[in-house]
Amino acid sequence: MMKLGIYLNSQHRERDDPARRLAETLEQVRTIRALGFDSIWAGEHHLVPGFHYFPQLLLPAEAEGLALGTHVTRLPLHNPVELAEIGAFLDLVTGGKFLLGVGLGYRPEEFAAFGVPMNERVSRLTEGVEIIRRLWTEDRVTHKGRHWQFSDASIRPRPLQSRPPILIGAQAEPAIKRAARIGDGWLLVPTPKMDELAKQMALFRSAREAAKLPPTEHICRLYEVACAADEDAAYRRVAPYLLEKYASYASWGLGGVAENRVGTPEEQLRPLAKDRFAIGTPAQVTDALVAQHRAGITQIAMRVSWPGMGQDDILASIELIGRKVLPEVRHRTAVGG
């Protein structure tokens, strides 16, 4: 059965009142928990012009019973000892339901601000994953690596899980192979269409087999989802905000999606969303999510809000997905429907 969670929007327009947006996020988490979703997720960015960005996973007190996942933590920007300590604490807070999703990062200004050379990001990611895993599972860890060195280190508290899953974000071929080799699972971005997804899944599986590793239950995709009573209403509700989000991605240098600037916002969004996002009625969104499961995805972090979107529309979408989509997806993926 595929697990379904909600990816919380941490990025808000600079002119928005951050206290109000925080209160709204807390209300969203309470709604997510009440409706029986499996998890909440949050991303990480720094120094985002025109926006403010809430720190990752600031809501554990509101998230009782939910798994918490990072999608993704930019591991090369951080000290892995600190991430191991924070991750162990969040595993304790969630009752053993923490998932650490990590990735390389791609914005030069973030690396410059943290004093980390971008050309070291792959080696820092690989070494950091090793350190976190050892600190979660061993006492008195000594590490002499390229980027970090320490002796006889132990962290307390330890995670409740014997070892929380470390999931690696990846979309390019070398990164997918690396994720298969060093990760307990894989985090996918929203942009691949279904044919691209099939190729990426085959690459991940073959790389994992070549490394003599078993299949993983943790293949999680960040997925753009908009749900309303009819398809046109769903597009009208989200088009301006989703288009702004992808324009911001393009300005940050993240490729992979061609922009269409012809027509109304809804007309611009349709070719971007086709065979890529889940936008429409509860039945259409259900079908799209089940198709993801058939392709090999085991968990979805649904992004249902974007910078500037109003709270009423966000809650309406969460409510509709929770009441009409969530139970049907669980039934169909449990029985192979």
Q: Which token pair is 181?
A: 């080799």
- Beta bridge partner(s), residue 145: none
Cβ(193)–Cβ(278) below 8 Å: no
Number of H helices, E strands in the chain: 11, 14
DSSP 218-233: EEEEEEEEEE-SSHHH
Per-residue pLDDT reduced to its tens digit, 53-68: 888 766 666 788 999 9
Question: Distance between CA 15 and CA 12 in Å, rounded?
Answer: 8
Hey, is 83 helix, strand or coil? helix
Per-residue pLDDT reduced to its tens digit, 127-159: 999 999 999 999 999 999 999 999 999 999 999
- Report pLDDT for 36: 97
Band of pLDDT at residue 243, cut at 50, 70 and 90:
very high
Which is it for the CA torsion 127, 130, 136, 141, positive or negative?
A: negative
Cα dihedral 279/285/291/293 (nearest 10): 110
- Beta bridge partner(s), residue 3: 299
Per-residue pLDDT reduced to its tens digit, 201-232: 999 999 999 999 999 999 999 999 999 999 99
pTM (2 d.p.): 0.93
Whether 260 shows a pLDDT value over 80: the answer reads: no
* Percentage, residues of the chain above pLDDT 70: 94
Q: How many residues does the chain have?
A: 337
